[in-house]
């Protein structure tokens, strides 16, 4: 997929995010906030794509208490290390941008499926919140500290494993879409 400019990229991201409306009903209303905060570096967008579609996406919010706002891989692209690659790049980028703590939430429906993934990346479940995004549905809050001597990625055995396909048009994309990283 040629992610040649902001309109095409953001359109692909919005299409991809529609798959998550059942878990986060306001996700499409939230993405324009992400778009506005990309040029300042407050947010970062990490994408993995092939010739026809977005395969994975991570969205971060920078600061000392950073947030991994979204991370996912399309069902058809799973079990190839793409999630680990997205996690690695997102965590490193947040650490480089001053994060000392990183948080992420998952809904109760996917908590068990994601426990190993987040645990392997150094996160631990620290809180359970009801009605955060949806009425009467719980969210698990995960947290990870970034220490000076601590490797910001918990899956070092996966570091040499790279996804099969990238959009390698990242130099042009970076010039057109600030703070967007095509992996």
Structure-model confidence comparison of residues 85 and 170, the more confident one: 85
What domains, with CATH codes, occur in the chain? 6-182 (3.40.630.30)
User: 7, 16, 48, 44: which is closest to 167 by C-alpha?
Assistant: 48
Alpha-carbon distance 152 to 65, whole Å?
14
- The per-residue pLDDT of the chain, averaged, comes to 78
Alpha-carbon distance 20 to 151, whole Å?
30
Range with the poorest average pLDDT among 90-94, 100-104, 168-172? 168-172
User: 95, 96, 92, 104: which is closest to 140 by C-alpha?
Assistant: 104
Report the pLDDT value the prediction gives residue 175, as an integer from 0 to 100: 40
Alpha-carbon distance 146 to 38, whole Å?
23
Task: Please state the pTM of the whole predicted model.
Answer: 0.79
Q: Does residue 167 surpass a pLDDT of 80?
A: no
CB atoms within 10 A of CB 78: 13
pLDDT 10s digits, 23-66: 888 899 999 999 999 989 999 999 998 877 889 999 999 999 99
Alpha-carbon distance 69 to 61, whole Å?
7
CB 182 within 8 A of CB 3: yes
Q: Which helix (H) or strand (E) holds 7?
A: helix 6-17
Range with the poorest average pLDDT among 6-10, 14-18, 124-128? 6-10
Structure-model confidence comparison of residues 59 and 171, the more confident one: 59
pLDDT 10s digits, 88-101: 999 999 999 999 99
CA atoms within 13 A on the CB side of 108: 13
Report the pLDDT value the prediction gives residue 37, as an integer from 0 to 100: 92
Report the pLDDT value the prediction gives residue 150, as an integer from 0 to 100: 46
Range with the poorest average pLDDT among 33-42, 73-82, 101-110, 169-178? 169-178
Pairing of strands 54-61, 43-49: antiparallel
């Amino acid at each position: 997929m040629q992610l040649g400019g902001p309109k095409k990229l953001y359109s692909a991201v919005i299409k991809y995010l529609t798959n998550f409306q059942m878990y986060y009903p306001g996700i499409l209303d939230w993405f324009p906030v992400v778009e506005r905060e990309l040029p300042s570096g407050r947010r970062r967008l990490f994408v993995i794509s092939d010739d026809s579609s977005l395969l994975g996406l991570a969205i971060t919010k920078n600061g000392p208490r950073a947030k991994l706002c979204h991370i996912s891989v399309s069902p058809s692209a799973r079990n190839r290390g793409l999630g680990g690659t997205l996690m690695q790049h997102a965590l490193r980028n947040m650490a480089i941008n001053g994060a000392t703590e990183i948080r992420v939430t998952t809904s109760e429906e996917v908590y068990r499926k994601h426990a190993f993934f987040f645990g392997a990346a150094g996160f631990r479940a620290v809180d359970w919140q009801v009605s955060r995004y949806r009425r009467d549905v719980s969210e698990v809050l995960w947290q990870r500290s970034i220490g000076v001597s601590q490797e910001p990625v918990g899956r070092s055995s996966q570091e040499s494993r790279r996804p099969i396909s990238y959009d390698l048009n990242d130099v042009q994309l970076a010039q057109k879409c600030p703070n967007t990283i095509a992996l």
